[in-house]
Amino acid sequence: MTPTALALVLFAALLHAGWNAMVKAMDDRAGVLAAVSAAHAVLGLILVLSFPLPAIASWPSIAASTLLHYGYYILLFCAYRLGDLSQVYPISRGLAPAVVALSAVALSAVALIGESLAPLGWIGVACVSVGVTILALQKGAVQASRAAVLFAICLGMLIAAYSVADGIGVRRSGNAFSYMGWLFLLEFPVPLTIALIRRQTGGGFSPRVLGIGTIGGIAAVSAYGIVLYVKTIAPLGAVSAVRESSVIFAALIGILWFGERPIAARLLAAAVVSVGVMTIASS
């Protein structure tokens, strides 16, 4: 992975951790998620109108990723309703790089796009996975709600699955912006469904929730767009692993913003992940 690709993915990781911190800070998480997905859809419409259709070969990936993202939003809401964000986030995000790099899904991606990861890169992936595991366990995930942990694990599997689907699709699309446009636009059922449910129950969205959700949506769109682009110039396993350094950014935000403890285990996890990121970058 080149220094430019590494820097882009790290910036995307910071953006991703930031919008998740916004979700954590709000009581109306469904409202924030509605605004986030609505921002995706609006940007998607702009891109769709600005760029040509993606290549036919990429549409199966668009369809698969869209369906997986619907499941992602459902699981995300359920996991945060039952468990602490600081537990759900590291478990779900930390599981993804190991699944992408080591599972049969990743092997399928290698066969389809002809890429592999150098031995040093595999060591880096292992370091990242160990680091986020330390972070997940020290927060007390073992004592957490079993349902919350199960949702977090399922989230990790979904994240890995759509990461691979998008990595294949964006390379086959002929234009990364065309691919992103349709992927984002097809999220419109998410805010529409939440809005309809709110209307039926007599609820609404506060301006503060919509404002914060919109900012979070812009950060989320930027983060995912950057990652999709980098997948066109770097190995999927490496991108997925470095992207999950967002867990460390989230830990630091938790320490400085939310006053979360313990600090020592979080710093240990940060050190292990940093070693993994540097190893992947040099592979």
pLDDT tens by residue, 184-232: 999 999 999 999 999 888 778 889 988 999 999 999 989 988 988 888 8
User: Into how many domains does the chain fold?
Assistant: 1
Residue 257 has which token pair? 């913003």
Contact present, 279 and 120 (Cβ < 8 Å): yes
pLDDT tens by residue, 28-57: 888 999 999 999 999 999 999 999 999 999
Place of tokens 């800070």: 25
Residue 223 makes CB contacts below 8 A (sequence gap 6+) with 12, 13, 15, 16, 19
242 lies in which domain range? 3-282
Interval 6-19 mean pLDDT: 92
Residue 42: the pLDDT is 95
* Positive/negative CA dihedral, 161, 162, 163, 166: positive
* pTM given for the model: 0.79
- Average predicted confidence (pLDDT) for the chain: 83
pLDDT tens by residue, 123-146: 887 888 788 777 767 655 555 567
What distance lies between CA 234 and its chain's CA centroid? 17
Q: Please, what is the end-to-end C-alpha distance for the chain in angstroms?
A: 7
pLDDT tens by residue, 262-271: 788 777 877 8
